[in-house]
Amino acid sequence: MSEYDAPATAGMIVGLTQHLVGYGRFEELIKSYSEQGYDNPKRAAVAEVFEVGNIWKVGTPVVFQWAIAADGKSFELTYWDSLAWQSVKKMSLDDILAQVYN
């Protein structure tokens, strides 16, 4: 959550959180924390998603299966999965690869 407190990254983290759990669910979390009197309900919602919910916790295994052509000149990704992704809205392959390889 230390990255959330940096002004340059807070908006990006909120956007990622909305993408992961869905805009409606994220707004429900913010409303819940607001009603409980939290001084920063948006930050509390992000913390629940990433810390309490352990979405894509560091060390969670990720499985990729690549198919390589017989001539060795091309390949394609044919399968990808992780237990971390089962609790969130479907993630695109681009989002997954960006998280793994960036």
- The pLDDT of residue 54 is 52
- Please give the model's pTM, rounded to 2 decimal places: 0.50
HEC secondary structure over the chain: CCCCCCHHHHHHHHHHHHHHHCHHHHHHHHHHHHHCCCCCHHHHHHHHHHHHCCCCCCCCCCEEEEEECCCCCCEEEEEEECHHHHHCCCCCHHHHHHHHHC
- The pLDDT of residue 87 is 59
Q: How far is CA 68 from the centre of its chain?
A: 29
State pLDDT tens for residues 47-90. Answer: 888 765 555 666 778 888 999 999 999 999 898 888 776 655 56
SS3 31: helix
